[in-house]
Amino acid sequence: MQNLASTQNRRPIGGLKYRLMLVCALFLASALISNSTANAGTCPEASVAIKAGKAFLKAARTGHTSDFASALATYSDMTQISMFGLGKYRSSLPPRLAAEYVSLSSRYVASTLSGFARKFRANSIEFVDCQGDQVITRLNFGGGRRPQRVIWRFAHGKVIDINVQNAWLVQLLRSNFVGILNDADGNIGTLLSTIKVASDG
């Protein structure tokens, strides 16, 4: 598996899709998280992860982008995630385009998950630990594949980031979006059209 640095030679939008393929495995296995009283008491967010996992598992079965979008809207703070994705250009987003931007970025993530979800299956995911706003889990694939450490970051009961293979998904989102904006001299319209085309494709 290539590291984050190796994605620099890809199209800016491609690096994010590459990582999201791995995140699909997490979502598909999330319904198998142990729902023990001890885990729920130590990590209240574990119950959110279980519900989110079931929603994403259902979306994977239907293959509908709309089902992934619904799960994202319910269990993730896509407004916070999307705004973070703008990085230094956040102040450049006109208020009149804010809702459209959040909608398009959410649709892009949902579309990517829909496109790759069927390629990944994990046997189980285990609770490991809680550290502040993070829930640490271990993803088990079986078949001789090494377990994968996965970290969920929460804020106010919502998922705001996921760490897979030592890369934070939302940080990668920002790297991709800021890269597009750098090439477009900060033109927000170019970013919107780029992620719209990527979502539709």
How do residues 71-123 score in pLDDT, each as one tens digit?
889 989 999 999 999 999 999 999 999 999 999 999 988 887 787 665 555 56
- Give all strands of the β-sheet with 158-164 in edge-to-edge order: 124-131, 134-140, 148-155, 158-164, 167-168
Q: What is the mean pLDDT of the chain?
A: 78
- What is the token pair recorded at 122? 């994990």
Q: Is 131 left (phi over 0), alpha (psi -120 to 50) or beta?
A: beta
Vertex 142 angle, CA 136 and 144, to 5°: 115
Predicted pLDDT at 187 = 97
Percentage with pLDDT > 90 across the chain? 31
How do residues 40-83 score in pLDDT, each as one tens digit?
446 788 878 767 766 776 777 787 888 888 988 998 999 999 99
What is the C-alpha separation between 174 and 172, in angstroms, rounded? Answer: 5
With 0.85 as the threshold, say if the pTM is over it.
no
CATH class of 12-200: alpha beta
What is the C-alpha separation between 118 and 187, in angstroms, rounded? Answer: 35
What residues does each domain of the chain span?
12-200
